[in-house]
């Protein structure tokens, strides 16, 4: 794990996933020493993948397991613990890229208007006390920031007080492998963030030394699970009839940008994608545009 963190620059969440995956691999195949690990046959690798499938793991999870195992063997080779990397010949499968689920512009508008709206079923946050008002301002700022920047949930939770440049309208995010990028922020998100900073954060803050931008009710840094619950609850209040999660706002940001005529390379930079092929998946989401192009150019459209 130290190798994956220091030399490969993997994020904390990825480190935890890889540690779990490698532990599962060693436990499933009863490997207890370097000799056992090096002496494994490729057929047992296939058996392991099959066991993952039988246990109900999704293709993406199985793929991640095999990536973690290959990195584990690479580390053992680099450190001289083994002489033969038997995992090197075992190719990880190529996955189909799933077209992401996105919200319509109208659904996004409803979602962004949900904080502070009249309480619906399941709403348990007070709205008349100062803490309740602070949470409403925080939730508005978070949703506006997520849709304005396309930032990941972990990036939003990781924002600090000095991460936002209000004068120039930029936010500094740290993505996968701690790669830094600057992302523009629109006026509405900046205004919502200012309202939160001026009227909300001071009410939530319990420790002057806390550098986190978005605070929980207890004054600590907001966690990804809290953010997930926030988005889900606001989607329910907005009456959106599909399950909504934080990454769906990232998908919506990208697809709406491209549908509006944004440059693919610019969207890639804002999302922090290392490979532009990852960003290209969003070009397939705008179904209305595809229909119009088909009708315009197909002989029998």
Element (H, E) at 230: helix 224-238
The active-site residue out of 70, 181, 245, 247 is 247
Instruction: Please give the Cα distance from 95 to 91 (Å, whole number).
Output: 12
**Residue indicated by tokens 């509006």:** 260
Active site residue 152: yes
The active-site residue out of 152, 201, 237, 256 is 152
Instruction: Please give the Cα distance from 8 to 11 (Å, whole number).
Output: 9
Instruction: Please give the Cα distance from 267 to 208 (Å, whole number).
Output: 36
Active site residue 256: no
Cβ pair 221, 205 in contact under 8 A = no
Element (H, E) at 247: helix 246-259
CA dihedral of residues 273, 277, 282, 285 (deg, nearest 10): -160
The active-site residue out of 172, 176, 217, 224 is 176
Instruction: Please give the Cα distance from 228 to 137 (Å, whole number).
Output: 17
Helices (H), 8-80: 12-28, 34-38, 42-54, 59-78
Pairing of strands 180-184, 164-165: unpaired
Instruction: Please give the Cα distance from 50 to 278 (Å, whole number).
Output: 28
Active site residue 217: no
The active-site residue out of 18, 147, 196, 282 is 282
Residue 94: CB atoms within 10 Å: 7
Active site residue 247: yes
Active site residue 65: no
Q: Which residues are catalytic?
A: 152, 176, 247, 250, 273, 282
């Amino acid at each position: 794990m130290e190798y994956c963190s220091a030399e490969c620059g993997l994020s904390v969440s990825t480190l935890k996933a890889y540690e779990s995956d490698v532990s599962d691999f060693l436990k499933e195949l009863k490997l207890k020493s370097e000799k056992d690990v090096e002496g494994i046959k490729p057929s047992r690798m296939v058996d392991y993948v099959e066991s993952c499938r039988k246990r109900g793991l999704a293709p993406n999870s199985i793929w991640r397991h095999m990536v973690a195992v290959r990195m584990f063997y690479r580390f053992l080779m680099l450190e001289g613990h083994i002489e033969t990397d038997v995992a090197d010949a075992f190719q990880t499968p190529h996955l189909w890229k799933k077209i992401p689920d996105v919200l319509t512009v109208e659904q996004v508008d409803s979602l962004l208007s949900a904080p502070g709206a009249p309480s619906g079923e399941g709403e348990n946050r007070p709205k008349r006390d100062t803490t309740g008002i602070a949470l409403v301002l925080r939730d508005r700022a978070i949703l506006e920031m997520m849709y304005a920047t396309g930032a990941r949930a972990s990036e939003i939770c990781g924002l600090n007080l000095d991460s936002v440049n209000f004068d120039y309208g930029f936010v500094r995010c740290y993505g996968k492998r701690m790669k830094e990028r600057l992302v523009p922020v629109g006026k509405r998100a900046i205004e919502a963030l200012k309202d939160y900073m001026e009227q909300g954060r001071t009410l939530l803050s319990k420790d002057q030394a806390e550098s986190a931008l978005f605070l929980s009710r207890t004054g600590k840094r907001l966690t990804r699970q809290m953010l997930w619950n926030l988005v889900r609850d606001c989607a329910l209040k907005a009456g959106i009839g599909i399950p909504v999660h934080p990454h769906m706002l990232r998908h919506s940001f990208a697809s709406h940008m491209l549908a509006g005529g944004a440059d693919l390379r610019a969207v890639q930079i804002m999302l922090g994608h290392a490979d532009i092929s990852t960003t290209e998946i969003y070009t397939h989401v705008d179904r209305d545009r595809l229909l119009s192009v088909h009708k315009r150019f197909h002989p029998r459209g």
